[in-house]
Amino acid sequence: MNKKYFLLLLAVFFIFWQLIPPSTFAKKNSSTESIINLRLIATTDLHADLINFDYYQSKENNRIGLVKTATLIHEARKEEKNTLLFDVGDHLKGSPIGEYLARIKGIYNGKTHPVYRAFNHLRYDAITIGNHEFNYGLKFLNAALKGAKMPVVNANIRSKKTNKPYFKPYVILKRKIEDQNGKKHTLNIGVIGFAPPQIMKWDKANLEDKVYAKPIVETAKEFVPKMKNEGADIIIALAHTGISAEPYHPNTENAVYYLTKIPGIHAILSGHSHRVFPGPAFKKLPNTNLKTGTINGKPVVMAGAYGNHLGIIDLRMIKKAGKWRVTKGISKVRPIANKKGKSLVQTDKKLFELLKPEHQETVNLIKKLEINK
């Protein structure tokens, strides 16, 4: 090889080497940090509105219905590798289907309530119960809950007989989560549930001498440290309670604002008041960022009611020195219809077929009642 040509090649190679950033040749996982994105998906206050149908007017209503919300659930899952799905309560009572199942047909011979059949089909990871779950009495509720294949959590309702939680207070879900480099990790996800203490007044006839309700915030302070001691990497509250900054007292009905102040709770999925958070109704709430959907720095979501919205919280977590830390949380809501009631999503046909028997039975019953008037 010509000596001058060789020296020229050597000089070009040296210049090229100098221009390349050192990180180009670094190993993909040279950092000790692992980063994961975790998506929490939530429904709340469905009130047994499983089908997009108005039974009172006998016509389709695309502003409501889990068969519509389910399509948003499928879309939200496709967008992220790591997702969990929850319900925040008030799902058994509020529509003619709910009334028909509780007061006429009943739950018998191991039959699964259509609400829980839907939850099983959609693979909910955990659910909590709201105040309206008690409207039909504990016997009906316990019978219905036998059909739920996912954990049902509530920490602040206690048995009068044992002074212990009447339901499972919390659960720690072990899930395989994939980080940004494709590496799998086992994440211990703590999930705890709460309901308004006012159930003892609203459903006194059903609950007196059987259970009692403890204050929400005090209960959270009792159980969150226990969950951490049991290895929870992250703690999610399924809080069937609204959002208000009114001064806190033990009987506070809407306690989300004060739950955000409890160390150890990383995200709150809320409900009960049928409102949408983040949303303009909360623009005057102190220490609230509606762009990120955070209150006191914690991500919070409330997905309206009747299936009209899906709630989403996206968390970013970093593992450093063997411990996971939430570094960012953003919440948002997605509607099933626009303000004029025009549907924004297709009906989940598989879910509709799964729920069709009770839907048709309810329609037939209402027609019969109308004829006999």
Tens digits of residue pLDDT in 75-126: 999 999 999 999 999 999 999 999 999 999 888 777 899 999 999 999 999 9
Query: C-alpha dihedral over 190, 195, 331, 349, to 10 degrees?
Result: 90
Reply yes or no on whether the pLDDT at 31 is more than 70.
no
Structure tokens that stand for 71 in this block: 């399509």
Other CB atoms within a 10 A radius of the CB of residue 171 amount to: 18
Q: Which is it for the CA torsion 290, 291, 293, 296, positive or negative?
A: negative
Other CB atoms within a 10 A radius of the CB of residue 168 amount to: 15
pLDDT at 11: 52
pLDDT at 121: 98
Sorted by where each begins, the domain ranges of the chain are 31-371
Q: Which residues of 187-198 are buried (b: 16+ CB within 10 A; e: fewer)?
A: bbbbbbbbbbbe
Half-sphere exposure of 317 (CA within 13 A, CB side): 26
pLDDT at 24: 41
Q: State which fold the 31-371 domain adopts.
A: Purple Acid Phosphatase; chain A, domain 2 (3.60.21)
Distance CA(270)–CA(333), nearest Å, equals 12
Q: Which residues pair with 300 in a beta bridge?
A: 268
pTM listed for this prediction: 0.90
Average pLDDT over residues 203-212: 97
Helix axes 66-79, 349-371, angle to 10 degrees: 170
pLDDT at 27: 42
Residues 149-198 pLDDT 10s: 999 999 999 999 999 999 999 999 999 999 999 999 999 999 999 999 99
In the predicted model, what is the mean pLDDT of the chain?
92
Residues 270-283 pLDDT 10s: 999 999 999 999 99
H-run or E-run covering 120: helix 114-122
CA 198 to chain centroid: 22
pLDDT at 8: 52
Residues 323-363 pLDDT 10s: 999 999 999 999 999 999 999 999 999 999 999 999 999 99
